[in-house]
Structure 1
Amino acid sequence: MKTTLKTGLMAAAAAILPLSAMAQDQADLITPVEDELTFVFVPKVIHPWYDVVAEGAAYAAEEFAKKGIEIEVIWDQPPQADVVDQNQRIEANIGRQPDGLAVACLDQATNVQLMGEAKEAGINVTSFNSYCADDFQFIGPKSSKQDGYDLGEHLAEILGGEGKIAILSGSLTASDHVQRIEGFKEALAEHEGMEIVFEQPDDDILEKAVELTESVLAAHPDLDGIFGSNASNPIGAARAVENAGKAGEVHIVGMDDLPEAVDFVCSGVIDALKAQRQWDMGYWAVTYMVAMNENHTVPMFHDTGSRLLTADDCE
């Protein structure tokens, strides 16, 4: 009996030893970064919104420099939200073999195909701002539907559940713009007196948002509200509404907290914004791409969140 017990304990100890060695050796899986890293960001378009993302990325790079890890951050931005142009930039950067590639998806199907090619080429790939696919790490709101819904509810509350509404729909292929509109329409559908009388894409171009708003104000002088699905069009709508002398009469809700948009909130031209945390997107994209290069595991989804911004926040 004693011999059997002793033999069993020795066998158990022998089994534990390799496991202990494995646990202690996990640090050997980490690859130290010795050379300068190059990270390429390919957003949807040149836009002030991405300037804030770039600030977060630069801050992270500065932090790593203090730890002895040098990072070159390159931004390759299409001048307009053009799917072909963006895909050409992604493809060209695959050929350059950077240490990390961060993409804001403008067109999920084609972007995902190219991101898959980048991954196969051994490039560490992440995505931000606009969700791409579960195959790739994503930093930002995985679904933007809630933001649109919240703004729809806020506008319906302001108007007492009745009114004629225009939608500036941004880029028709951008998942975040599309989802916000879906959420906005769902909110309005709960109020029988809310009617959408205009919906047009502005392609994330501020000047086009101004022109579209001017058109809808002329076609619908009794317009009650406007929803902007991206960072540009609330500003464009506000400029046109203010120029038409209809500030406070035509109520505007939309996305993001660019300085001019916030000024319009504080002056009463825009009623509410849903502000994202794009600085965090840039910061964490760099942080996670460094971790990937070190062979660390990273979360596949990092929700950076958003908050409602109204005139109450201006006090």
Structure 2
Amino acid sequence: MRREAVTGEKFDQASVLKPINKTLKFVFVGKLVHPWYDVVDEGIVAAIADMKKLGINIEYKWDSPATADINEHVKKIEANISARPDGLAIACLDPATDTQVINDACDAGLHVITFDTDAPESKRVSYIGHDSFHSDGIMHADLLAKLIGYKGKVGILSGSLGAPNHVAWVKGFKEGISKYKDITIAFERPDNDDLQLALDLTESALQAHPDVKGIFCCNASNPIGAARAVKNAGKAGKIKLTGMALMPETMAFIKEGVIDATLEQRQWEEGYWGVMYLVALNSNHTIPDKHPIPATWITKETLMK
């Protein structure tokens, strides 16, 4: 069947795009000041360099609270609403609390995206980051169960109690470990994404539970803190450790055999695409509601390849 030619005036879709005739200013607000975001920053710098080649100039800054304090986190976001940047990227510390201030930013006409952790009920335009936290926890449970021979006591360093990814990782781990009737959870301690606190908590936990056989760590700090404590106790390789992210010290502990495995989230992509999407929004492009970024298992074997 022959299609009839369409006659009449054609709508030029490109006409809705806006030229960028100024230096764009973006702000990134992490959950806290943490070296995990250094890799995000590398992605930001790469994206800015790519945009510069196209004639688009970008200035950016980080404005994160010193610690995982939700009140300080909200204050940082509020201050940047008043500053009115051309783009605001937020790693949510507590979605229930962050949602209102994110909505305030959107209602003020700012381009707002989230990364690392989302506030899905907010008015943010897009989320960039890993989004299978619960299933990650289940996989960690299966791996740790295997590493300890499917029986014995394990512990959990649970990170920040309001951080949605930490909560989902722990929930998934508990669900997964419940399948193994000969495994019990000896302790669960929140470390607030603080390396020194994770070290201290692990040391006290090992004293209280000297027969613990494995520890699940759910952020970038606590695998390092736990590994230091385990190594200091002379139990490297005897107590199995799994965790999240791949910091330089984490990598060293994996090569040494103190940490058995981590899930690396490829956060470089979060920084890169965060910049790209904020530029797109300033040009009146559409962007996806969610940009999922997969995680990759890192073990001693994968590092040696």
Above 0.5 in TM-score? yes
**Cα displacement (A) at 1:159:** 1.4
Instruction: Output the amino acid matched with 1:64.
Output: M
Asked if 1 retains the 8 angstrom alpha-carbon contact of 2:260 and 2:299, the reply is yes
**Cα displacement (A) at 1:115:** 0.8
**Cα displacement (A) at 1:194:** 1.1
> Deviation string for 1:296-315 (max 9, x for gaps)?
00011111110111111122
- Residue 51 of structure 1 pairs with residue 38 of structure 2: yes
Query: For 1:16 and 1:182, how far apart are their aligned partners in 2?
Result: 59
1:4-43 aligned within 5 A:
16-18=7-9, 21-22=10-11, 25-43=12-30
**1:300 maps to which of 282, 289, 300:** 289
**Cα displacement (A) at 1:161:** 1.3
What is the SS of the residue equivalent to 2:8? helix
> Deviation string for 1:233-258 (max 9, x for gaps)?
00000000000000011110000111
What is the SS of the residue equivalent to 1:72? strand
> Deviation string for 1:101-141 (max 9, x for gaps)?
00000011121111111111111000000121154210012
Asked if 1 retains the 8 angstrom alpha-carbon contact of 2:140 and 2:173, the reply is yes
Query: For 2:15 and 2:239, how far apart are their aligned partners in 1?
Result: 62
1:148-187 aligned within 5 A:
148-187=137-176
Tell which structure's C-alpha radius of gyration is larger: 1
Asked if 2 retains the 8 angstrom alpha-carbon contact of 1:252 and 1:271, the reply is yes
**1:74 maps to which of 55, 61, 80:** 61
Asked if 2 retains the 8 angstrom alpha-carbon contact of 1:58 and 1:73, the reply is no
Asked if 2 retains the 8 angstrom alpha-carbon contact of 1:44 and 1:78, the reply is yes
Q: Percent identity?
A: 47
**Cα displacement (A) at 1:55:** 0.9
**1:204 maps to which of 193, 199, 224:** 193
What is the SS of the residue equivalent to 2:228? helix
- Residue 100 of structure 1 pairs with residue 74 of structure 2: no
> Deviation string for 1:65-88 (max 9, x for gaps)?
111111011100111000000100
**Cα displacement (A) at 1:33:** 0.7
- Residue 109 of structure 1 pairs with residue 100 of structure 2: no
Between 157-166 and 43-52, the greater mean CA deviation after superposition: 157-166
Instruction: Output the amino acid matched with 1:180.
Output: W
**1:147 maps to which of 127, 136, 139:** 136
Instruction: Output the amino acid matched with 1:120.
Output: D
Between 156-165 and 43-52, the greater mean CA deviation after superposition: 156-165
What is the SS of the residue equivalent to 2:64? coil
Query: For 1:101 and 1:270, how far apart are their aligned partners in 2?
Result: 36
- Aligned equivalent of 1:273: 262
What is the SS of the residue equivalent to 1:224? strand
Q: How big is the alpha-carbon RMSD for the aligned residues of Structure 1 and Structure 2?
A: 1.3
Query: For 2:40 and 2:100, how far apart are their aligned partners in 1?
Result: 24
Superposition TM-score, scaled by structure 1 size? 0.93
**Cα displacement (A) at 1:147:** 1.5
Q: What is the number of equivalent residue pairs in this alignment?
A: 300
Asked if 1 retains the 8 angstrom alpha-carbon contact of 2:131 and 2:293, the reply is no
**1:222 maps to which of 208, 211, 231:** 211
Asked if 2 retains the 8 angstrom alpha-carbon contact of 1:205 and 1:233, the reply is yes
**Cα displacement (A) at 1:143:** 3.5
Unpaired stretches in structure 1, ≥5 consecutive residues = 1-8
Superposition TM-score, scaled by structure 2 size? 0.96
Query: For 2:224 and 2:138, how far apart are their aligned partners in 1?
Result: 20
